[in-house]
Structure 1
Amino acid sequence: MKPMRKLTIVAALICSMITWAQQTPALAQKGAFTIMNATAHIGDGSVIENSIIVVEEGKITTIADATTVKMQPKGRVINAEGQHVYPGIIAMNATLGLVEVDAVKASDDEREIGTYNPHVRSVIAYNAESRVVESMRPNGVLMAQIVPRGGRISGKSSVVQLDAWNWEDASLLTDEGVHINWPSSFRRTGSWYNPGPIEPSKDYEKQVRELTDFVNNAKAYNATESKTGLNLKYAALNDAINGKQTVYFHVDGEKGIRDVLNFINKNGIQRPVLVGAREADKVAKTLVAMKVPVLAGRTHSLPSAEDEDFDLPYKFPKMLADKGVLVALENSGDMERHQTRNFPFLAGTVAGYGMDMEEALKLITLNPAKILGIDDKYGSLEEGKMATLFISKGNALEMMGNVLTHAFIDGREISLDSHQTELYERYMEKYGLEVKR
């Protein structure tokens, strides 16, 4: 090979590596900064129309009405007049960083082989340099619950912030919950192009019994002081059984939900959460009495039955919230990783179908933080909490208004660039159009 040709190939490879590289994570906050004159959406349902927010050492030290509190700004001043400040959005039940390209097997690490995998830890497979993860931040999605998929027990989820060098730096809450995929009590016959009727699943009772036996065996194993050998799978369920970890039940349908609630009672599950939970509104009183939160399934979806209202997915979270259930949103399904950037608009859709806009904001900020147990640090704009927030030119829950100018994770100002913004600028320049950021 000629030297010049070798040099050209090396240069091309270097350019390719640079093109694929993620932005360098932001440095720790140095010095205070103050956000002035913005409309602050606190995240707990309240709003401060003309606010002053002071951030020092990564935390909010002051948030108040600028018209009534007389104080001088500290450090750098960001004049956000006419703009809006929101707490960072938390994407629940996401697989960000576990798969980069579905068709490339080497980049797919969202599930493990086998049926019962409570010992699997999603966080160690999390790719902090994922370009998909990077594309969440321009829409205000700054944190995520990373969840494994597959099997009857998928494994353990963790909470990460979306601007980090590696999974250790990204982790906010490690191994916070175990995920159980409850058996389906019904199955759809036919094919995708010619669906048949829905009928009861013949294996449902058998599958429930197998899951029950596995949990009972794990309880017996962990209660035994003199163990003959190490069983990683049984040992991994110990914290969930003892109430130190949350147990997430991925379940749909009234019968399945009632059976899950019965399972929770019989096995003394102290921190249960339902995920998806279609038809949970039919057992809302029981959910409230048992204090079981719900991660409502994807808002941007079609009704699952012919006799359901066309707008049921849009109003389902409000139906639960109105009955007193603690509700947050999740977005699992087709193209779920890339669709995670739509979390603010899922809440916006719920607001468009009857819920107050500030209550809808809670579905993706404070309520997820409460379910995860991190509401003492995240989920709302309050003094003493971490400064994980963003500034938007308009209503962040609406597509036209969600235009971010600044974003911060623990007080660090992060990049809002991504592969999509680079392409946008490239082609706007190509056609001689003004770049609007």
Structure 2
Amino acid sequence: MILKKRYLVLFILSISMAAQHAPAKKQTKSILILNAIAHLGNGKIIQNSAIGFKDGKITLVADATQIRLAKDAYDETIDATGKEVYPGFIAPNSTLGLVEIDAIKSSDDESEIGVFNPNVRSIIAYNAESKVIETVRPNGILIAQITPRGGRISGTSSIVQLDSWNWQDGLMKEDDGIHLNFPSSFRQNGWWAEPAASSLNKDYSKQVGEITRFLTNAKSYLADTAKERNLIFESVKGLFDGTQTLFIHADKELQIIDAVNLALENGIKKIVIVGGFEAYKAADLLKKNNIGVLLKRVHDMPENDDQDVNLPYKMAKILTDKGIVVGLENSGNMERMNTRNLPFLAGTCAAYGLDKEQALQLITSNTAKLLGIDNLCGTLEEGKDATLFISDGDALDMRTNKISKAFIQGRTINLENHQSQLNKIYKEKFGQQ
């Protein structure tokens, strides 16, 4: 009987630990956060702040020492003395919610068969109940751009807030951009355990020509009023009328220059480089055409033997000094699980030349601008979404990034996850509560 009870307890425990936390309900009470150091996300700091929000929108951003508030102006007041307030961090070029377990094919929905797939919409495959999403929110990542992979044109991304029942509830900006994987003039040879070796890509001109023909045919189709319907060509209309951004995934200098020139020649109005390891070599072209960069994971090694070993850490500083709007992305190995480390990528950029508030902009206001959602989020400003969090200390430092409260559109979200539950269980087991 005792054994049966133990099994029953373990079964109930396993169910409770596997269950997804219900998304927070709509904000009903106005909230005021007082006395925290507020990092506004635009380079400014308020040392003793008053941040208020109601009905999901920020209604007050002020210096608490310079204003007088009526006691009943807000329904709830949070004394955050000694703590810090930040706008929610944004993870661009992310596959959160598209893959749950890499080894289980049925849980992997990040790419489609085919080469030119601009009609593929990642948002309809997004799983808002992914267990991985719960692990990124406790580090301040509250918004993500859900992005497809594969092919020459992978498809269309969309932007979501990370506390919702489904993709419809989480949607912030639908079909914000189309992702082009531009070919490289060099191919990487060998396998991961060997030194990287490169050889010329003999098909480079052919591959670039295929992209050119696709865009030319799409423009011709869109200009023709009497036509047989083509959903693939119709899906790139936003690139030509300026309602969508072309995200060009490219790292090498020649790649970036050829890709930008090709896009400009075809009348594409909004362009962002994703990856951009050698973007600093094409900085004049990028700045002239107001093209920003979502910089590849900075916790990495240089790509060539003759490069500074610290170049990846310094890249954000180099590009910022050249007048480029820079954000940080985290694609690569273990990218979904590593999304939680996004603030520490920004912290590394601060350690290698950027001012701490400039580094914060890499994952807040700059990314919001590049994704076209800066009217909604990215900074603590009146009228924007109340998507923000309170940290015990510096949120860009893994030693002090300890979030006590987080809000998405004014809703107080649950910061518990499978890992934190296990932490509590075993602390209790060994009497460390």
Q: TM-score range by the shorter chain?
A: over 0.9
Superposition map of 1:18-57 within 5 A: 18-57=16-55
1:12 CA drift (Å): 8.1
Q: Secondary structure at the match of 1:81?
A: coil
Secondary structure at the counterpart of residue 90 of structure 2 = strand
Q: 2:145 — aligned with what?
A: 145
Equivalent residue, structure 2, for 1:243: 242
Indicate the SS of the match to 2:77: strand
Mapping of 1:9-408 within 5 angstroms?
Answer: 16-73=14-71, 74-195=74-195, 197-228=197-228, 230-408=229-407
Q: Find the residue that maps to 1:401 and give its secondary structure.
A: coil
- 1:431, CA displacement in angstroms? 2.0
What is the CA distance between 1:154 and its match in structure 2? 0.3
Secondary structure at the aligned position of 1:336 is classed as coil
Do the aligned residues in 1 keep the contact of 2:17 with 2:421 (CA within 8 Å)?
no
| Helix, strand or coil at the partner of 2:336 | helix
CA gap 1:8/1:106 in 2 versus in 1, 3 angstroms: farther
Q: Percent identity?
A: 52
3-state DSSP class of the match of 2:342?
Answer: helix
Q: Counterpart of 1:247 in 2: which secondary structure?
A: strand
| Contact map agreement 1:190 1:196 (CA 8 A) in 2 | yes
- Secondary structure, aligned partner of 2:183: coil
After TM superposition, give the deviation of residue 234 of structure 1 in Å.
Answer: 1.0
**Aligned residue type for 2:68:** K
Q: Considering only aligned residues, what root-mean-square deviation do their CA atoms show, in Å?
A: 1.7
Q: How far did 1:17 drift? A: 4.6
CA distance in 1, matches of 2:22, 2:380: 26
Distance 1:299 1:171, change over 3 A: same
Query: Which range moved further: 219-228 or 350-359?
Result: 219-228
Q: CA deviation at 1:363?
A: 0.4
Query: CA 1:9–1:215 in 2, change beyond 3 Å: closer, same or farther?
Result: farther
Secondary structure, counterpart of 1:334 in structure 2? coil
Alpha carbons 1:247, 1:273 under 8 Å: kept = yes
2:294/2:329 contact within 8 Å kept: yes
How far is 1:57 from its partner? 1.0
Q: TM-score, normalised by structure 1?
A: 0.95
Separation of aligned partners in 2, 1:48 and 1:190: 52
Tell whether the 8 Å contact from 2:246 to 2:272 is kept in structure 1 after alignment. yes
Aligned to 2:412: 413
Segments of 5+ residues of structure 2 without an aligned counterpart are: none
d(CA) in 2 for partners of 1:164, 1:58: 14
Unaligned runs of 5+ in 1: none
The amino acid of 1:160's aligned partner reads V
Compare 156-165 and 196-205 and name the one that shifted more: 196-205
Query: Quick one: distance in 1 between partners of 2:101 and 2:185?
Result: 32
Q: Deviations over 1:230-249 (max 9, x none)?
A: 21111111111222100000
- 1:307–1:33 CA distance, 2 compared to 1 (3 A): same
- Whole-Å separation in 1 of the counterparts to 2:129 and 2:191: 38
1:13 CA drift (Å): 7.4
- Distance (whole Å) between structure 1 residues aligned to residue 30 and residue 194 of structure 2: 61
Report the alpha carbon displacement of residue 11 of structure 1 after superposing the two structures with TM: 9.6
SS in 2 for 1:175: strand
- Per mean C-alpha deviation after superposition, the further-off stretch among 188-197 and 274-283 is 188-197
Q: Encode CA deviations 1:195-251: one digit per residue, 9 max, x unaligned.
A: 4632211111111111111111111111110112x2111111111122210000000
In 2, Cα distance between equivalents of 1:57 and 1:272: 34
Taking the aligned partners of 2:6 and 2:62, their CA distance within structure 1 comes to 58
Q: Which amino acid aligns with 1:218?
A: A
Change (3 A) 1:214 1:13: farther
Q: TM-score, normalised by structure 2?
A: 0.96
- Equivalent pairs counted in the alignment come to 428
Specify the code of the residue in structure 2 equivalent to 1:33: I
CA deviations over 1:237-287 (Å, ceiling 9, x no partner): 111122210000000111111111211221111001000011110111111
Inter-partner Cα distance in structure 2 for 1:53 and 1:178: 36
Shift of 1:386: 1.1
Secondary structure of the corresponding residue to residue 135 of structure 1: helix
SS in 1 for 2:320: helix
Distance 2:163 2:189 in 1: 44
For 1:244 and 1:55, how far apart are their aligned partners in 2?
30
Residue 8 of structure 1 deviates from its aligned partner by 11
